[in-house]
Structure 1
Amino acid sequence: MFKKLSALLAFFVYFASFNIANSQSINKSKLGEGLQFIGADSSFSLKFSTRFQMLYQGAINNSAEQLDDRFLIRRARLEFEGFAYTPKLEYKIELGLSNSDIGNDDPARFNNADNIVLDAVAMWNFAPGWELWVGQTKLPGNRERIISSQKTQFVDRSLLNSRFNIDRDTGLQLHHTHTIGTAVVRESGSISMGEGRNITVDNAGGYDYTAKVEVMPLGEFEGGGAYVGSDIYREETPKLAIAAAYNFNDNASREGGQLGDFLVDERDLRTLFVDYMFKYRGFSSMAEYVSKTAPAGPVVLTSNEGQVEETFVTGNAFNIQAGYLFPSNWEIAGRYTTYNPEKVTNLRPQKQYTLGLTKYIVGHSLKVQSDVTLQDTPGTENTYLFRVQVEVAL
């Protein structure tokens, strides 16, 4: 594994060095914007960037005598993007190098595989307002998941997202953007494999289908802010985005559809997402609701005593958060999340109350985030989680 990563990094260092010597120009070199090159004949462009997150996290409950805590590299990424042949054909490659970024297929069913590749997608602007995406990337699901982990308002995404998001998948996506008066309307749809990223075996079930509609009645956000945590651009006029998405995973084989363990049986999964984002002069608010069902029943394996041993994760969740960014670039934010799994799954519901404090030094490229969470799980003592994270993006 180490040898493979070393060879990969050596290749990209050589590639970047070659282009520094032979490129037409370096367009930008500001912190957070990466290194950018354009070929001498303008036939391609390359932007290289890297980022990592250093996290400290701790947990304690009411009766605990010892703190459970640790330091870790939560994420470490390499990103490459630009255009090839024509500016209308863009690409993005994102690699995850930390242990938290790299997952494995279930060795009981498939060959073990390191999931280093997060994104590998080509985006073709074949007509005004239309783009065709081919490859592996995030599906057009809930807003919180589409927001980059670099640009979240809190140290990490909510419990709603960890339980029900549809993550990344490999296939085709079609995106359309147009205006109706001052409103911006976006429609997107996808057909994908259904098992998530980097699955190299035959499709275990059917395909996955996603459709999404988003409306921005007050116009476009500054800097793509509809998918950026907090109002770091300080919108001069109110901005609002409202979206709904529906996902159908035909004969899913993993407990979350694209994520989680592979189970002994398959189920159709249906997921509905509804969300909004609002921003105005430093204030931001976002909320999401999700409902996931398995019409044939989520449980696929029980023990002789009737205990649930394998189940798909179904139910519903709600998340709402808001924050204010002061002129000093300190932000205080609060979040409430409730997770309600179907009773038949025997999974425990949870509620979380989170208070966050962030100092943005260079936007989302250099920041220090912290938050404290009260986790309420029926039948157990309340748990207190606290985290501090440093984000560095070059």
Structure 2
Amino acid sequence: MKIKLLSLGLFLLFTAALHAQEDNAPAFGKGLFNLVGKDSSFTMKIGARMQILAISEGLDESDEFFANNETNFLVRRARLKFDGYAYSPKLRYKIELGLSNRDIAGVSQFTRNTPRYILDAVVMWNFYENFELWFGQTKLPGNIERVISSGNMQQVDRSLVNSRFNIDRDMGFQLRHHFNLTDSFVVREKLAFSQGEGRNITDGNEGGFQYTGRIELLPLGLFEGGGDYIGADLKREQTPKLFLAFTYDSNVNAVKTRSNLGAYMFNDTGLYQTTTNTIFADLMFKYRGFSLMGEYSKRNAADPIAKNSDGTPTGDVVWVGNGINLQSGYLFPSNWEVSGRFTHIKLDANITGRSPETQYTFGVSRYIVGHKLKVQSDLSYLSIENGSNEVMFRLQFDVHF
């Protein structure tokens, strides 16, 4: 019933938008429709995008490459996006809905066992000079690789550092501010106070709250077109641009294995709680088609081993450890790009039971209309200490309206 109502609502919305904008359709990649109120009291840009993925992966245990791999074809992401302003340009909003299986997975009793359609639902109020207050559900100011949109990535998908350590989306408040130290040196500060449970949790805050602080330094000036949060140097920066950032996140009495992500930790009295701290240090550099992105992540916890009231371990643990990711690429004048990535993960083996992992990835991308229409492919080799190695090949097509 809920799916039928959602489909009907989207159909009516698109029908109304098409009727209103049939003679004023935006250019490709600029949204499906751009609506403006008659009195200019609101705007709404409606966009859609999808990623279609072919993936072949398996253990490297045969003399014949990919002989034992499993191959899948899937809609990796399918999303609708609405953004604009309400009443005043100083009050912006963003709504993003996910429709693919991967987008809406993760139901539990804490989400009332319903699909998790909502990715972002946030309002952003520029209430004074360079200060902006956000309220709603959106990405926390964590590692750069996570905050970069999945539609603007340099390779097919994010690295293992992101999948092990990122702090993703949550519901709460964010305060953002920026200022100039010099004519070109820009500093941005971001603070967040959130529920600490991840996105679309409906049945209360089971643990404590999550506190996040981030500072970003751009000593050589702003990137063209917000390129510090876009993969690849599509703007071909004519002068060197550098981005440096540091994040500290504390999730007080967290109840999941990866801060506000992962599985819930249970014991004989209910949910096991422990304070989890995560740090990120990252950079982005771009110059004339060359790009370099680096990230370091580390997580610890007050008591990472979940225990029952009598002190016996439950089997659940917090994923504590650290990781580093280095990624670089060069964009040729033909809009073909080659890229490489090195990722190393070292979770605490005594706690998590997981061996260190090192992954090497080589990627090739063809940007037809920037990130709005592109084909990407990459080949990865994952080396697991004291374990089996894995190979993976991916091919993905992106289209954004």
TM class by shorter chain equals over 0.9
Helix, strand or coil for the counterpart of 2:12?
helix
Give the fraction of aligned pairs with identical amino acids, expressed as a percent: 45
Give the direction of change, closer, same or farther, for the CA distance of 1:19–1:56 in structure 2 (3 Å limit).
closer
Name the CA distance, whole Å, in 1 between partners of 2:60 and 2:14. 53
Helix, strand or coil for the counterpart of 2:172?
strand
Name the CA distance, whole Å, in 2 between partners of 1:298 and 1:79. 38
Offset at residue 356 of structure 1 (A): 0.3
1:244 aligns with 2:246: yes
CA contact (8 A) 1:189 1:212 kept: yes
Match for residue 334 of structure 1 among 301, 322, 340: 340
Name the CA distance, whole Å, in 2 between partners of 1:49 and 1:163. 30
Name the CA distance, whole Å, in 2 between partners of 1:10 and 1:110. 23
Give the direction of change, closer, same or farther, for the CA distance of 1:374–1:386 in structure 2 (3 Å limit).
same
CA contact (8 A) 1:53 1:391 kept: yes
TM-score for the superposition, normalised by structure 2: 0.93
Residue equivalent to 1:53: 51
CA contact (8 A) 2:254 2:276 kept: yes
Helix, strand or coil for the counterpart of 2:103?
coil
Residue equivalent to 1:145: 146
Match for residue 38 of structure 1 among 11, 36, 40: 36
Helix, strand or coil for the counterpart of 2:11?
helix
Residue equivalent to 2:372: 365
Residue equivalent to 2:72: 70
| 163-172 vs 3-12, which moves further | 3-12
Offset at residue 28 of structure 1 (A): 2.4
Name the CA distance, whole Å, in 2 between partners of 1:91 and 1:7. 23
Name the CA distance, whole Å, in 2 between partners of 1:12 and 1:349. 46
Q: Name the aligned partner's letter for residue 80 of structure 1.
A: F
1:318 aligns with 2:324: yes
Name the CA distance, whole Å, in 2 between partners of 1:62 and 1:21. 55
| 7-16 vs 267-276, which moves further | 7-16
Structure 1, unpaired ranges of 5+: none
CA contact (8 A) 1:365 1:393 kept: yes
Name the CA distance, whole Å, in 1 between partners of 2:211 and 2:225. 29
Residue equivalent to 1:208: 210
CA contact (8 A) 2:306 2:313 kept: no
Give the direction of change, closer, same or farther, for the CA distance of 1:12–1:41 in structure 2 (3 Å limit).
farther
Instruction: Report the count of equivalent residues.
Output: 388
Structure 2, unpaired ranges of 5+: 267-271
Name the CA distance, whole Å, in 2 between partners of 1:387 and 1:205. 38
Offset at residue 18 of structure 1 (A): 2.6
CA contact (8 A) 1:176 1:186 kept: yes
Give the direction of change, closer, same or farther, for the CA distance of 1:199–1:257 in structure 2 (3 Å limit).
same
Helix, strand or coil for the counterpart of 1:255?
strand
Offset at residue 20 of structure 1 (A): 4.6
Give the direction of change, closer, same or farther, for the CA distance of 1:23–1:388 in structure 2 (3 Å limit).
closer
1:387 aligns with 2:394: yes
Match for residue 282 of structure 2 among 272, 275, 280: 275
CA offsets, 1:304-358, max 9 Å, x none? xx98721111110000010000000000000000011012221232110000000
Offset at residue 29 of structure 1 (A): 3.1
Residue equivalent to 1:300: 306
CA contact (8 A) 1:26 1:38 kept: no
Give the direction of change, closer, same or farther, for the CA distance of 1:228–1:110 in structure 2 (3 Å limit).
closer
CA offsets, 1:164-190, max 9 Å, x none? 000000000000011111111100100
Offset at residue 24 of structure 1 (A): 12
CA offsets, 1:121-180, max 9 Å, x none? 000011121110000000000000000000011100000000000000000000001111
Helix, strand or coil for the counterpart of 1:161?
helix
Offset at residue 379 of structure 1 (A): 1.9
CA offsets, 1:48-73, max 9 Å, x none? 00001000011133324422111011
Helix, strand or coil for the counterpart of 2:102?
coil
CA offsets, 1:242-269, max 9 Å, x none? 0001000000011111111111111100
CA contact (8 A) 2:355 2:387 kept: no
Name the CA distance, whole Å, in 2 between partners of 1:139 and 1:342. 25
Name the CA distance, whole Å, in 2 between partners of 1:19 and 1:358. 34
Helix, strand or coil for the counterpart of 1:50?
strand
Helix, strand or coil for the counterpart of 2:3?
helix
1:374 aligns with 2:381: yes
Name the CA distance, whole Å, in 1 between partners of 2:75 and 2:44. 27
Name the CA distance, whole Å, in 2 between partners of 1:139 and 1:317. 19
Q: Name the aligned partner's letter for residue 191 of structure 2.
A: G
Q: Name the aligned partner's letter for residue 237 of structure 1.
A: T
Name the CA distance, whole Å, in 1 between partners of 2:162 and 2:198. 15
Name the CA distance, whole Å, in 1 between partners of 2:382 and 2:14. 46
CA offsets, 1:245-295, max 9 Å, x none? 100000001111111111111110011110000000000000000110002
Helix, strand or coil for the counterpart of 1:104?
coil
Name the CA distance, whole Å, in 2 between partners of 1:110 and 1:228. 32
CA contact (8 A) 1:25 1:38 kept: no
Name the CA distance, whole Å, in 1 between partners of 2:204 and 2:93. 26
Residue equivalent to 2:236: 234
Match for residue 291 of structure 1 among 298, 303, 306: 298
Name the CA distance, whole Å, in 1 between partners of 2:16 and 2:367. 34
CA contact (8 A) 1:273 1:291 kept: yes
Q: Name the aligned partner's letter for residue 372 of structure 1.
A: L
| 235-244 vs 308-317, which moves further | 308-317
TM-score for the superposition, normalised by structure 1: 0.94
Q: Name the aligned partner's letter for residue 203 of structure 1.
A: N
Residue equivalent to 1:13: 11
Residue equivalent to 2:359: 352
